[in-house]
Amino acid sequence: MFNIFEESIVQKERFRLAANRLLNQCFLVKKKESTKKDYMFVYQNRELFIPYFELLGYQLKINEDQGVIGLVNQFGAGRLSLNKYESIMLLLLRLLYLEKRRELGTFSEEVTVLMEEIREKYAMLKIKSKPVMDKSMERTIITAFRKYNLVLNLESDIAQADTRIIIYPSIVMAVQMEDVSAYYDQMKERLASYSDTGGEEDGETEEITDEDSAD
């Protein structure tokens, strides 16, 4: 571990960039090229980052097995409020991630789904007020989740059924659950509850910050 006050300008700049990216994007994913270096830097210097974020009211969460680093605000602040359909999409992506991960049986392979699969899951909810999510809404939601390093669309056109979406393991860290089976069942129950309501209910994720994204 280095002392940030005694290190070179280069090291201080790396610390600043990594810390700000984590604050702004909430998650660093080892398997994602744009955050891999920051993930490794924070992981290797976690003894320095932990007290730094504690001063800001955050707990640094590291899941080495899944290659994800995230932040949890210890005072319940800094959460991103989601509307009904954003919440539904987030839950669907979590559910698909768990299902695909079970099929793969390993963390070495990325979880990739098609937009068609997401739409099929959504249609199964039979939401009366919006049985089919429009393409503009899909595009907005995927873009927002990409900002927080939860997903990545491999093709630019979200409207196409065969567009591939990588779902990163950060999707699970967004809501902390020790029992994966209980988590899986809870996600299905929460999704089912949305199909019985027609209003624009708001949801709230556990640890997605509402900071502006930094490039």
Q: Which sequence spans correspond to the domains of the chain?
A: 9-73, 81-204
The answer, yes or no, to whether residue 172 has pLDDT greater than 90, is no
Q: What is the mean pLDDT of residues 187-198?
A: 65
Q: What pLDDT band is residue 209 in, cutting at 50, 70 and 90?
A: very low
Give the pLDDT of residue 106: 72
* Least confident span in 16-25, 101-110, 162-171, 198-207: 198-207
Proportion of the chain above pLDDT 90, given as a percent: 55
pLDDT in tens, 40-61: 999 999 999 999 999 999 999 9
**DSSP 8-state class, residue 212:** P
Give the pLDDT of residue 7: 64
Give the pLDDT of residue 9: 83
Give the pLDDT of residue 198: 47
Q: What pLDDT band is residue 202 in, cutting at 50, 70 and 90?
A: very low
Give the pLDDT of residue 105: 79
For residue 208, the Cα-to-chain-centroid distance in whole angstroms is 7
Contact predicate 75/64, CB 8 Å: no
The answer, yes or no, to whether residue 199 has pLDDT greater than 90, is no
- Tell me which residue of 180, 189, 123, 174 sits closest to 144, measured CA to CA: 174
* Amino acid letter for position 27: F
Burial readout 174-206 (b: 16 or more C-beta within 10 A, e: otherwise): bbeeeeeeebbeebeeebeebeeeeeeeebebe
Q: What pLDDT band is residue 210 in, cutting at 50, 70 and 90?
A: very low
pLDDT in tens, 82-92: 888 998 899 89
d(CA 138, CA 157): 11
Give the pLDDT of residue 211: 42
Give the pLDDT of residue 207: 45
